[in-house]
Structure 1
Amino acid sequence: MGRKFFVGGNWKCNGTTEEVKKIVGTLNEAKVPGEDVVEVVVSPPYVFLPFVKSLLRSDFHVAAQNSWVRKGGAYTGEISAEMLVNLDIPWVILGHSERRQLLNETNEFVGDKVAYALSLGRKVIACIGETLEQREAGTTLDVVSEQTKAIADKVSNWDNVVLAYEPVWAIGTGKVASPAQAQEVHAALRKWVHDNVGAEVAASLRIIYGGSVNGGNSKELASQPDIDGFLVGGASLKPEFVDIINSATVKN
């Protein structure tokens, strides 16, 4: 059984009620492959999660952009995984580079967050990736392996994990890792999982790419054997997100 293509849309800190209605309207009208070919998940800001869930077509799902590392309580401004359970939000994005860099989330902290969300039955898009300085220093594989190890140290069942490789230097910059560069890292990550977690997990784990993916480059990236989909930032707010979803057909 092949790995089902996965396309996530991270809306980040964007949107008004009217803008959200427009984005969802475009998605609801889109002609895309069925759920047997591609899994589509969109991640609006927290305040819009129930609204988007109520409007969105039933074959697309929603994700939170973050959740707290343990049970809720006196953590002002945080959202707990228990709340996601209560609102029936199936997915959550954890370890995004913006949270690692801007909010100083460590590899170990991200690993704990992933484990806690999974323990409450949430599905996790776990993000990893290197900075430009790290790539230029030739430490890309060391960095992403360490980030993955911190997750692997806390996770025993990978069935509900999608690993998102997002080179930090390519997020929102317009720079994109070439298909060959992206494939090289994806293949190395799969080998790391094979050697350190197990062959079965390595074969089934979806490793998706993020970093200035758009309607123009998605098909070429999708054609790479170890790229199982995308986590899309800015382009997920635009009609071209539909083209990115449709790039799943190159796997067939």
Structure 2
Amino acid sequence: MTTPVSRPRPLLALNWKLNKTPAEAAAWAADLAAALTPGAAELAVLAPAIDLPALAAGLPPGVAYGGQDVSRHGAGAYTGEISAAMLRNVGATYVIVGHSERREYHSETDAVVAAKARQAQAGGLTPIVCVGERLDVRERGEHVDFTLDQLRASTEGVGENLIVAYEPVWAIGTGRTATADDAEEMAAAIRGALEGLYTARDFRVLYGGSVKPDNIASLCARPNVDGALVGGASLKVTDVIGLNDALK
């Protein structure tokens, strides 16, 4: 079984999705600053781009932030798009690319995801590349091959500075969670694939899909799960504190 050379601190990548105005983001950041105590985890808030200045002004020291999507273009006549340089200019360090919702609702292909990841890296951001299978794929026993094929295509030409989030589509926002064994199986396979593609050996592999304070510790206890991409539980500061405290 593939095991990381050195275990990084768990990363909690908090994906707000389409939630929170700038005023609400500022209030959330102030509440977090008042309640957060140092823990074993690193935190990064992945918010709507319009919220990032409010987060920059209010997040406690050591909490990073980033975007939920990025253009595959650097600049030009692409109305409505946000470039990596724009995100980096307001202090973002991370950006999600290839989330299953982008793939499904916006028809993003693996090639588009790879192009966005390349642009993110060119702009100084670390892309969090999302991969994962639908329920029918898992039920056929094809989840490993499917996800690794998706990973390879979604990282074509992408440099080593990346994070991979495994998010089984059937467990996102459904209340169903992959078991710790399921998450470990896929995280180990993903790490092995990354080690075949790159010379680095210190990749972070996250799990995403109905992550909560009561299951985060068991997930992150597995040797190849380096944290989580958190959806619904990212919206309430009390849940974020619960996630953080569970990893102490």
Give the TM-score normalised by structure 1: 0.90
CA RMSD of aligned residues (A): 1.6
**Do the aligned partners of 1:67 and 1:78 also contact (CA within 8 Å) in 2?**
yes
Q: Which residue of 1 aligns with 2:171?
A: 170
For structure 1, which segment, 97-106 or 123-132, has the greater mean C-alpha deviation from structure 2 after superposition?
Answer: 123-132
Q: Which residue of 2 aligns with 1:123?
A: 126
Q: How many residues align?
A: 242
SS at match of 1:204: coil
Q: Which residue of 1 aligns with 2:18?
A: 13
Q: Which residue of 2 aligns with 1:184?
A: 185
How many Å apart are 1:154 and its aligned residue? 1.0
How many Å apart are 1:187 and its aligned residue? 1.0
Q: How does 1:196-211 map to 2 (within 5 A)?
A: 196-198=197-199, 201=200, 203-211=201-209
How many Å apart are 1:85 and its aligned residue? 2.6
Identity of aligned residues (%): 38
Q: How does 1:1-252 map to 2 (within 5 A)?
A: 1-33=6-38, 37-156=40-159, 158=160, 160-198=161-199, 201=200, 203-238=201-236, 239-249=238-248
How many Å apart are 1:88 and its aligned residue? 2.4
How many Å apart are 1:38 and its aligned residue? 2.7
Please give the per-residue CA displacement for 1:50-74, whole angstroms capped at 9, x wherever unaligned.
1111111121011111110011221
How many Å apart are 1:26 and its aligned residue? 2.6
Task: Quote the Cα distance in structure 2 between the aligned partners of 1:31 and 1:77.
Answer: 35
SS at match of 1:26: helix
How many Å apart are 1:106 and its aligned residue? 0.4
Q: Name stretches of at least 5 consecutive residues in structure 2 with no aligned partner.
A: 1-5
How many Å apart are 1:137 and its aligned residue? 1.9
How many Å apart are 1:166 and its aligned residue? 0.6
How many Å apart are 1:17 and its aligned residue? 4.0
Amino acid at match of 2:111: E
SS at match of 1:246: helix
Q: Name stretches of at least 5 consecutive residues in structure 1 with no aligned partner.
A: none
Task: Quote the Cα distance in structure 2 between the aligned partners of 1:218 and 1:26.
Answer: 22
Give the TM-score normalised by structure 2: 0.92
**Do the aligned partners of 1:62 and 1:91 also contact (CA within 8 Å) in 2?**
yes
For structure 1, which segment, 177-186 or 14-23, has the greater mean C-alpha deviation from structure 2 after superposition?
Answer: 14-23
For structure 1, which segment, 130-139 or 221-230, has the greater mean C-alpha deviation from structure 2 after superposition?
Answer: 130-139
Amino acid at match of 2:90: L
**Do the aligned partners of 1:152 and 1:197 also contact (CA within 8 Å) in 2?**
no
